[in-house]
A and B are shown apart, each in its own frame.
With several copies, the nearest count.
Chain A
């Protein structure tokens, strides 16, 4: 396509497992990675629960899709904005989240963290910069 690159943000506000929104949102992000756009993900409100480490679905029988977040770096999806206030209200800190990383091709393929902690007002500014907001 000849269009300019658009800034896409996937806005995740829902907890995983209770409803399918989180899982099917992630499927969109993976497919979307094949398109040459400027992609980021926002995790706010209960969306931050999508990234907790140690998810183990053995006893519920539902599909554990948390490993897929670890693959995002390989798909060049490496801007995962997590809202600080949402984490704090939920008794969580960065240590409770999966350590997600990517290899930075502009910096000799050094491994860097994909999760960027941002304040509510920083996230608001980031949302304003986007061309397209995909809400899930």
Chain B
């Protein structure tokens, strides 16, 4: 079965970011396909490589990056939501005249059409938010 996962809340702030990760991981380990994980609203904050969580806590960003790497998972950060919140890759930094970028490995920035496509292509779409 093909799942689409939508994450609307930021890391640490809301457990939705954790539940989305655990659901995605469990689905992949059971042999399901995850068509895409789409990060929207504050969910885009899952995709910054600049976090340094306490050493006795989970590293939410790294966890996503590794899951993406391991399973060739498509981790898409919404460009419009990312611009409002300051999540940028090298292209976006150049385009918007920023002197730095902060996107984490395995994530990519793209448009909202990718969310609609996930709704169309997936057998089940799950939204994790507040």
Q: Do chains A and B touch in the complex (CB under 8 A)?
A: yes
A-B contact number at CB 8 A = 75
CB < 8 Å neighbour of B18 from A27, A62, A132: A62
With a cutoff of 8 Å between Cβ atoms, the chain B residues found around residue A121 in the complex are: none
With a cutoff of 8 Å between Cβ atoms, the chain B residues found around residue A134 in the complex are: 6, 119, 125, 127
Interface residues as binary, A98-136 with B (CB distance below 8 Å gives 1, 0 otherwise): 000000000000000000000000000000000011111
With a cutoff of 8 Å between Cβ atoms, the chain A residues found around residue B81 in the complex are: 24
Asked if B112 is an interface residue, CB under 8 A from chain A, the answer is yes
In the assembled complex, the Cα of A97 lies from the Cα of B41 at a distance in Å of 26
Asked if B96 is an interface residue, CB under 8 A from chain A, the answer is no
> B112 to A27, Cβ gap below 8 A?
yes
Asked if A89 is an interface residue, CB under 8 A from chain B, the answer is no
Number of B interface residues in the complex (CB < 8 A): 30
Asked if B116 is an interface residue, CB under 8 A from chain A, the answer is yes
CB < 8 Å neighbour of B40 from A17, A24, A61: A24
Known contacts A19-B15, A31-B111, A135-B127; A63 and B57 CB within 8 A of each other: yes
Q: Which residues 96-114 in B have Cβ within 8 Å of A in the complex?
A: 111-113
> A3 to B120, Cβ gap below 8 A?
yes
* Chain B residue at minimal CB-CB distance from A19: B14
* Chain A residue at minimal CB-CB distance from B21: A61
With a cutoff of 8 Å between Cβ atoms, the chain A residues found around residue B115 in the complex are: 28, 31-32
Interface residues as binary, A1-37 with B (CB distance below 8 Å gives 1, 0 otherwise): 1010010100000000111110010011001101101
Interface residues as binary, B8-34 with A (CB distance below 8 Å gives 1, 0 otherwise): 100011110010001000000000000
> B129 to A20, Cβ gap below 8 A?
no
Known contacts A20-B14, A134-B127; A28 and B116 CB within 8 A of each other: yes
Known contacts A3-B120, A24-B41; A63 and B112 CB within 8 A of each other: no
Interface residues of A (CB under 8 A from B): 1, 3, 6, 8, 17-21, 24, 27-28, 31-32, 34-35, 37, 60-63, 132-136
Interface residues of B (CB under 8 A from A): 6, 8, 12-15, 18, 22, 40-41, 54, 56-58, 80-81, 84, 111-113, 115-117, 119-121, 125, 127, 129-130
Q: What are 25 pairs between A and B in contact, CB < 8 Å?
A: A19-B14, A20-B12, A21-B41, A24-B41, A24-B81, A27-B80, A28-B40, A28-B115, A31-B113, A32-B116, A34-B113, A35-B117, A37-B120, A60-B15, A60-B18, A61-B18, A62-B57, A62-B58, A63-B56, A132-B119, A133-B125, A134-B6, A134-B125, A134-B127, A135-B129
